[in-house]
């Protein structure tokens, strides 16, 4: 099982990246929280890896912090929560917010994640309440000032929201409201985060 990879960042997108490890390219699925904190292309980065074996494929899921990986693994122990849905949870809620929502049984917040209904949110809170205390969330890995200049942040944000399960039309409308309300150009990280807030409001 692959548990850790260090290599050159050959490609990155809001949902996945390619890591060049001594000439071998590994495709790794990632949450938005990891995407925000990635270095520039061609720089070296290290990822905590979970290797997911399926009958027809081997999938790699990567996380910059150990707390993200631990949260991901805990989420996948819940009935009905697979790797893709667990990534969606981590993309919508930072680890600190996720842990707090589970500990306080905040089903409403958990249910704002695309693909997570009230029943699934209730199961997450019930089954993980006594387990999340061992997760030690690290500091926020990326601030707006850390983000590199990105071309087409609107299109990247739209792609990220659609990949999280939101309808394209709803995502476009949410992003339009965010960009219209912004007093100055908004970086990709904040655009996605504010878009998620708009979508959660309905």
Instruction: Please state which CATH number belongs to domain 4-63.
Output: 2.40.50.140
pLDDT at 153 > cutoff 80: no
Topology of the domain comprising 66-134: DNA polymerase; domain 1 (1.10.150)
d(CA 194, CA 181): 10
What is the widest separation between alpha-carbon atoms in the chain?
Answer: 50
Q: What is the pTM of this model?
A: 0.69
DSSP string, 119-154: HHHHHHHHHHTTTGGG------S--GGGSPP-S-HH
Tens digit of pLDDT for each residue in 50-97? Answer: 999 888 889 999 998 888 999 999 999 998 899 999 999 999 888 888
Tens digit of pLDDT for each residue in 169-202? Answer: 888 888 888 888 877 777 787 888 888 888 877 6
CATH 1.10.8 corresponds to the domain 148-201 = yes
pLDDT at 202: 66
Phi, psi (deg, nearest 5) at residue 136: -110, 90
**Domain boundaries defined on the chain:** 4-63, 66-134, 148-201
């Amino acid at each position: 099982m692959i548990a850790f990879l260090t290599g050159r960042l050959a490609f990155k997108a809001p949902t996945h990246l390619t890591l060049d490890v001594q000439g071998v390219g590994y495709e790794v699925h990632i949450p938005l929280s990891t995407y925000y904190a990635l270095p520039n292309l061609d720089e070296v980065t290290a990822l905590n890896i979970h290797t997911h074996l399926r009958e027809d494929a081997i999938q790699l899921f990567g996380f910059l912090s150990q707390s993200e990986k631990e949260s991901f693994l805990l989420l996948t122990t819940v009935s009905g929560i697979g790797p893709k849905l667990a990534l969606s949870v981590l993309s919508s809620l930072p680890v600190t917010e996720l842990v707090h929502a589970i500990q306080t049984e905040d089903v409403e917040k958990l249910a704002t994640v695309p693909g997570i209904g009230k029943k699934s949110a209730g199961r997450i809170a019930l089954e993980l309440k006594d387990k999340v205390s061992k997760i030690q969330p690290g500091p926020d890995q990326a601030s707006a000032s850390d983000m590199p200049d990105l071309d087409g942040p609107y299109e990247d944000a739209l792609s990220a929201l659609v990949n999280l399960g939101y309808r394209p039309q709803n995502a476009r409308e949410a992003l339009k409201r965010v960009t219209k309300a912004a007093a100055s150009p908004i970086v990709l990280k904040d655009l996605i985060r504010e878009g998620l807030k708009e979508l959660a409001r309905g």
